[in-house]
Chain A
Amino acid sequence: MVKRGGFLLLNDKRGEDIFPNVIFIVVNILFFSMLIIFVFKSSTGAMVYEQAYAKQIALLIDYSEPKTDIKIDFSNAIAVAKENKKIQDLVKINEANKEVIVSLSGQGGYSMKYFSDYSVNTEFAGNFLLIHIKEKRVQNG
């Protein structure tokens, strides 16, 4: 049995035994680093923000009265979208289906319906999303 020193890389007899230990440690560090990066990427990914913002916007529309303007800090979502090289159509309001679609990557997005019969428009002002809620226009004829 090889007698080892107190420190992990020290060896009483031959220096060459250090090499496998170093590789072992490096492989473990690499493996767990990859896991940590994966967890971090998942927690700040488009999937999480798309759902959160779509639901938040739909609930805000339903909670509002006509002639309301809402300003939402969208900086986190914009940062995620930029990472995914998506710069247009981050938020869409489908008036026909009464749904909010938030898309922060090129791979689809998240859709949430709302029940209010209002006319809703959105626009960006810097890192803020502005939502304009108006009374639905009555069509004549």
Chain B
Amino acid sequence: MDKLFFDKKGGEKIMSVWWFAVLIVVGTGIVIAVLMFYSAEEDTRYVESEILYNKIADCVVQDGFLVDGVLAKEFDLMKICSLNEKTINEDKLFYIKINVLDENGNSLREQIVEGNKEFVAECEIQKPDENGKEIGAKYYSKCFEKTINIIYSDGKKGKLEILTASDNVGRKIGATENA
């Protein structure tokens, strides 16, 4: 059995300490890399902010016409568009900003704002610059912004600016929490 570890002169032969050290280093490295890879979060925030945008756009504009009541001061976006008050305004995982403008860019009503207002700055920072370069910010909310042409009141043309943002990343929960 000694031949496994030592040769005739007492030197290390096949199963040297260094070989075990190499196995440990390689094994530990692979285990850490695999655990890091498979425990990484799948980022669905951008998709989610786009879905939120689509939901709002479908809700307030139908066939290009602004839905009745949007210009009214008491318009309740959350109720009309079936959006959840708790997730958006209490948990603050989302942000919505809507601007209704006339043809010349003048506001037709007050901005409609819901959710976490801190996301405005994060969206602003992530906007592409003049050269089209974007700043990647992993821990910032992901935003979606689009302007669509609308017809309001008696056939007047206008624009609808919608900005949505999401920071809904999900979380692992423990056995006691799931009971």
Give the contacts of B124-179 with A (CB-CB under 8 A).
Answer: 168, 170-175, 177-178
Nearest-CB residue, chain B, relative to A54: B170
Q: Cβ of B41: which chain A residues have Cβ within 8 Å of it? A: 51
What residues of chain A lie closer than 8 Å to B173, measured between beta carbons? Answer: 101, 108-111
- Closest B residue to A107 using CB positions: B175
B178 touches A98 (CB 8 A): no
Number of interface residues of B (CB under 8 A): 42
Known contacts A59-B48, A115-B94: A136-B178 contact under CB 8 Å: no
Binding stretch for chain A, among B64-72, B84-92, B101-109: B84-92
Other A-B contacts than A47-B39, A115-B52, A117-B78, 20 sampled, CB-CB below 8 A, are A19-B3, A20-B3, A24-B4, A47-B38, A55-B42, A55-B170, A58-B168, A59-B44, A62-B48, A92-B178, A98-B86, A108-B173, A108-B175, A108-B178, A113-B170, A114-B84, A115-B84, A116-B55, A117-B83, A117-B85
What is B's interface to A at a CB cutoff of 8 Å? 3-4, 13-15, 23, 27, 30-31, 34-35, 38-39, 41-42, 44, 47-48, 51-52, 54-55, 78, 82-88, 91, 93-94, 168, 170-175, 177-178
